[in-house]
Structure 1
Amino acid sequence: MAKEYRIEHDLLGEKRISMDSYYGIQTLRAKDNFSISKVNLSQFPKLIRALAQVKKACAMANNELGLLDDKLCDAICSACDEIVAKKYHDQFIVDVIQGGAGTSTNMNANEVITNVALEIMGYEKGRYDILHPNNHVNMSQSTNDVYPTAVRLALYEYLCKLQNKMQILKDSFFSKAKEFNDIIKMGRTQLQDAVPMTLGQEFNSFGLMIEDDISAIEMTKRIVAQMNLGATAIGTGINTDSKYAGLVKEKLEEVTNRPFVTACDLVKATQDTSTFVQVSGVMKSIATKISKICNDLRLLSSGPRTGINEINLPKMQPGSSIMPGKVNPVIPEVVNQVAFQVIGHDITISLASEGGQLQLNVFEPIIAYNLFQSITMMCNASETLAFKCVDGITANEQRCKELVLNSIGLVTALNPYIGYQNATLVAKEALETNRSVYDIVLEKKLLSKEQLDEYLKPENMTHPTYSKDCKL
């Protein structure tokens, strides 16, 4: 009858480990210690794959330096490849929020890779006399360089995904900008009528805001690609060959097909988490912009009878349990809430970065957790906003036109032709009598009907113009 468990030992004693488990004693202790978020590493597959890629690169470097024999290196690399291929992810059972600066995460990876590799070589799990989690899989490494490097690699992948999702949203806004290009509407400042514009211009500005953020993400990826692998404990590279740091960087690029740069000063890089604060700052900026856009969409679609009602959002679900016929802007609302969460994550990340002491910041797990959450939520929110809202928006063209013609702000377009003083008098009378600017200008014979119609053409009100008829 096969054994049901194995005994493993560590500094603190021994524990029984199920023979079905690929993790070992240190992982099990961490599982018992950190029942915090109830969110395990297995829910972040990009981080697990990144850990396996880092471990493979390290094994390859150690092998080339003659520190790890071919048989063990091949087994470790094969085990890492299987984890990259999404196998054994259920064995990463440690809570993502943990003490120890990520040591539990690193050891979870070391133990799983070791036991998978042992089986590949034909041995039972737990035969650490053949292949050891610390001596072999963790050779030339420390949690303090492995964990942040894996986080950066995972972040790089998350940011690539975010760029793709935001590209979808940008394209949706630009498509609507073309569709609404000729629809005249009233622009507003301080929630008051300002001057005319087109609905296309408004939606084009939304697309450009998203485009700027996509560029910001690209710049952020270059910062994320700077790593401290080879630093080991505090950045001095203790327990490594002098050629190791440069070689392992080359191996990691080979394994990941991503560009990486070894930090100029590994002591500084090991304690400095400001890169993560920069990434979070970009996420905060993205969240702020997208939330502002969602506010605008809700305002522009408000009503339908008593609001602005210049656009119609897709009807996604009934809006009330008591008010028949009510439909709410639920997609912009949920995206607003994602933005609030991302901004809150930024505060946590800033505090965690500031809380680092001396040669290491032990709070990287909460930083990583919040960054991964922010990017994942924003990926989902961007795609949801594009597909379930923006793509289905329609314009109330006649309503837009009526608001322009009835707006006091229309008089601003006539300033160059009738002068500011006359324009002020017209605006005042229009407000007091509830009559249109158009009618009052004709009544006072400030302009002919032909002139007024010409000056109030959409193309003359929504772009820079200069006319020889200008009085100023």
Structure 2
Amino acid sequence: MSEGFRIERDSMGEMQVPADALWGAQTQRAVLNFPISNLRFPRSFIKALGLIKKAAAEVNMELGELDERIGQAIVQACDEVIEGQLDRHFVLDIFQTGSGTSTNMNANEVIANRATQLLGGEIGSRLVHPNDHVNMGQSSNDVIPTAMHVAARVAIEQELIPALERLRDALQAKAADFDDVIKSGRTHLMDATPVRLGQEFGGYASQIAHGIKRVREASEDLAELALGGTAVGTGTNQLPEFAQRAIRRIAQYTGVPFREADNHFEAQGAKDAYVYASGALNTVAVSLMKIANDIRWMASGPTSGLAEIQLPAIQPGSSIMPGKVNPVLCEAVMMVAAQVMGNHVTVTIGGQHGNFELNTMMPVMAHNLLEAISITTTVCDAFREKCVAGIVANRQRCQELLERNPAIATALNKVIGYDKAAEIAKEAAATGKSVREVVKARGLLSDEQLDEILNVRDMTEPGIPGR
């Protein structure tokens, strides 16, 4: 044995493993085979693996399949995995075997060696066996998809949805604050009939509310777990009651409902629920892109843009231009949205590779969806706290722009007809005069009639202006 290493064995023979490493020969082979990136499974996924292995050990003891002394040591080691104490021993690249077998064995070996230590044995002695004991009643092919679902659903329910709800509420509060601010609407980036700033923010709040509904529906699909299918979905080498009991424990540990898959061949051969969840996140990203983009457009200026709202000044915007302040949180949201959309492409392609009884792109699918959930969660909170909560309406600017908006002539359609109203709008735009001024100059309507018909507040509600 070389200094600093020990010899571990697997079905392919001997391997040198770092002396203080809790992983074993199979993990070490994967370390050498896949030196591809620095991307690792996130904490949420490692925790999910620990939960699954703990539930399995407890049920196997309950069913009389696993020695109590060994089982309790496994449970204690699993608790350390769940709490993050052994994270440095989960060393494998995301880009590995498409089933995630290497990572399942990484978990099995770490838990087995740590349990062996807890029993007073030497690392590598296999006093606790990674396959026979830790992986009892399981296969990588049902453990990895189960961990994918558990990690994603828990993160969605406990982190993402609350963050989206907080953002929705902040946008709705601004909708109420800005309900009295009447401004120019815009379509095709061109002036359109008036709207209230509050109506725009209410639309943003509604987008997020619809996103929450979509994500919740996707999360419900993730409640189905593949555990129980073992190698190909048949459940071979496992007692029939094992999966149901283990899944009940996983739900208890997480506080999130889970159930055994209705069809294990679907659960392992396809990852449609994961693609659907990623699609829901993709839709949320599209919403966030629109909201952030609108807000930065409305805040553009301060002298040469729209300047209808003012964003909180949270940092200098330029290394050369003194006093410049940029919509940096909006830009951060947009970059996160772009990343989430890109992640969804990878998840979509991964979902297409469910070949016969097993999907073979699960690690990268797991990484991309869990990253999307995480960065969407954190950017929603940052956007809400550092941008949305501090937005102030520039009421005077909104009024100035609205006064010069030729689209106000739309209110004249029922009185003087579309063609004549179009002439008014074009003259107003060409001369810089207001619609009211042009109508008065032509002597088409009295002041009283104009007050009734060109009531911009009325134009922000259903109905015919002036009636």
CA distances 1:132-175 after superposition (whole Å, capped 9, x unpaired): 00001000110000011011100012212111222222122112
Report how far residue 253 of structure 1 moved: 2.4
Alignment check: 8 A CA contact 1:145 1:232 kept:
yes
Alignment check: 8 A CA contact 1:230 1:248 kept:
no
Identify which of 130, 137, 141 aligns with 1:140.
137
Tell me the residue number matched to 2:239: 241
CA distances 1:390-444 after superposition (whole Å, capped 9, x unpaired): 1222111111011111110111133334443442232233234332111122333
1:152 aligns with 2:149: yes
> Aligned to 1:288, what secondary structure does the other structure show?
helix
Tell me the residue number matched to 2:352: 354
CA distance in structure 1 between the aligned counterparts of 2:407 and 2:457, rounded to whole angstroms: 16
Tell me the residue number matched to 2:418: 420
State the AA in 2 paired with 1:460: D
Tell me the residue number matched to 2:31: 31
CA distance in structure 2 between the aligned counterparts of 1:165 and 1:33, rounded to whole angstroms: 39
Tell me the residue number matched to 2:331: 333
Tell me the residue number matched to 1:22: 22
State the AA in 2 paired with 1:173: L
Tell me the residue number matched to 1:12: 12
CA distance in structure 2 between the aligned counterparts of 1:415 and 1:119, rounded to whole angstroms: 84
CA distances 1:194-220 after superposition (whole Å, capped 9, x unpaired): 111111111111111111111111111
Change (3 A) 1:252 1:442: same
Report how far residue 62 of structure 1 moved: 1.7
* TM-score (normalised: structure 2): 0.94
Tell me the residue number matched to 1:103: 101
CA distances 1:81-111 after superposition (whole Å, capped 9, x unpaired): 2222221111111112212510111011111
Identify which of 433, 436, 441 aligns with 1:435.
433
Q: 1:253-264 to 2 correspondence within 5 Å?
A: 253-264=251-262
Q: 1:245-284 to 2 correspondence within 5 Å?
A: 245-284=243-282
1:295 aligns with 2:293: yes
Alpha-carbon RMSD across the aligned residues, in angstroms, is: 1.9
Tell me the residue number matched to 2:120: 122
CA distance in structure 2 between the aligned counterparts of 1:435 and 1:293, rounded to whole angstroms: 32
Alignment check: 8 A CA contact 2:244 2:259 kept:
no
Tell me the residue number matched to 1:365: 363
Alignment check: 8 A CA contact 1:102 1:143 kept:
yes
Moved more, 226-235 or 21-30: 21-30
Identify which of 226, 229, 246 aligns with 1:228.
226
The unaligned stretches of length 5 or more in structure 2 are none
Report how far residue 240 of structure 1 moved: 1.0
CA distance in structure 1 between the aligned counterparts of 2:54 and 2:261, rounded to whole angstroms: 20
State the AA in 2 paired with 1:101: S
Change (3 A) 1:256 1:318: closer
1:92 aligns with 2:93: no
Report how far residue 282 of structure 1 moved: 1.0
> Aligned to 2:186, what secondary structure does the other structure show?
strand
CA distance in structure 2 between the aligned counterparts of 1:256 and 1:120, rounded to whole angstroms: 25
CA distance in structure 2 between the aligned counterparts of 1:257 and 1:439, rounded to whole angstroms: 65
Alignment check: 8 A CA contact 1:97 1:369 kept:
no
State the AA in 1 paired with 2:402: V
> Aligned to 2:7, what secondary structure does the other structure show?
strand
Tell me the residue number matched to 1:63: 61
CA distance in structure 1 between the aligned counterparts of 2:390 and 2:33, rounded to whole angstroms: 49
Alignment check: 8 A CA contact 2:4 2:18 kept:
yes
CA distance in structure 1 between the aligned counterparts of 2:18 and 2:188, rounded to whole angstroms: 65
Report how far residue 367 of structure 1 moved: 0.6
Report how far residue 5 of structure 1 moved: 4.8
Moved more, 116-125 or 259-268: 116-125
CA distance in structure 2 between the aligned counterparts of 1:112 and 1:222, rounded to whole angstroms: 32
Report how far residue 304 of structure 1 moved: 1.9
* TM-score (normalised: structure 1): 0.93
CA distance in structure 1 between the aligned counterparts of 2:148 and 2:356, rounded to whole angstroms: 21
Report how far residue 249 of structure 1 moved: 2.5
Number of paired residues?
464
CA distance in structure 2 between the aligned counterparts of 1:173 and 1:254, rounded to whole angstroms: 35
Tell me the residue number matched to 1:47: 45
Report how far residue 237 of structure 1 moved: 0.8
Q: How high is the sequence identity, in percent, across the aligned residues?
A: 42
Alignment check: 8 A CA contact 2:40 2:91 kept:
yes
